[in-house]
Amino acid sequence: MKEIVKKISDNQLLIEVNKKIYEFEAILQTSYKFTDKCYINIDSISEDIIGVYFKKKDEGDVSLEEVVDKFCNELIDQQVRVVVERSCGSIRDEIVKKAFSPIN
């Protein structure tokens, strides 16, 4: 995992996420969950790599290394959610549509 985490400065880290493995939606949803811990910026680095930049907030004593470790685990869960949603999201739409249809 070390290779994808890069230290930019004492209060900034970068994770390089492979787009072939993780979709943008998963990266975005994961990033959102950590916006209480630090400032996060998402940017394209290359055709295959998305960079997620973490910057410490002034308040608190958050360990960026810890945040990044948790981020990586959460990213897996969020990617699974994206896959599940793609697989059965249309079924959910169908259930809700039927639920609110007039009953004969």
Partner 1 sequence: MSYKLLPLRFERFNNDEIFITNEVGEFTFISKDKFEQLIKCTLNPQDETFLNLKAKQILTDTDINPVIEMLATKYRTKKSFLNKFTALHMVVPTLRCNSNCRYCQVSRKDVEAHQFDMDKSTAKKVVDTIFQSPSPMIKIEFQGGEPLLNFKIVKQIIEYSEWRNLFKKKDLEFVICTNLSLMTKDMLKYLKKHHVYISTSLDGPRDLHNKNRPLQATDNSYDILIEKISLCREYLGHDSVSALMTASRFSLERFKEIVDEYISQGFNGMFLRSLNPYGFAKRDRRMLGYTMEEFVENYIEALDYIIDINLKGTYFVESFASLLLTRMLTPFSTGFVDLQSPAGIAISGVIYDYNGNVYVSDEARMLAAMGDNKFLMGNVNKNSYLELFNSEFIRSLIRSACLECLPECSSCAYQSFCGADPVRNYSEQGDIVGHRPTSEICKRNKKIMHYLLDLVKQGNGKIEDVFWSWIIRRPIENNVCITSS
Measured from the CB atom, the residue of 48 and 85 that comes closer to partner 1 is: 85
- Would you say 26 and 75 are in contact if contact means Cβ atoms under 8 Å apart? yes
Residue 21, Cα to own-chain centre: how many angstroms?
Answer: 12
Q: Is 8 in the site for partner 1 (CB under 8 A)?
A: no
Measured from the CB atom, the residue of 8 and 76 that comes closer to partner 1 is: 76
* CA–CA separation, 18 and 20 (whole Å): 5
Residue 20 tokens read as 């072939």
Q: In which residue are the tokens 């981020």 written?
A: 71
- Would you say 92 and 35 are in contact if contact means Cβ atoms under 8 Å apart? no
Measured from the CB atom, the residue of 49 and 67 that comes closer to partner 1 is: 67
Among 2, 3, 9, 99, binds partner 1 (CB under 8 A): 99
Q: Is 63 in the site for partner 1 (CB under 8 A)?
A: no
Contact positions with partner 1 (CB under 8 A) in 66-85? 77-78, 80-81, 83-85
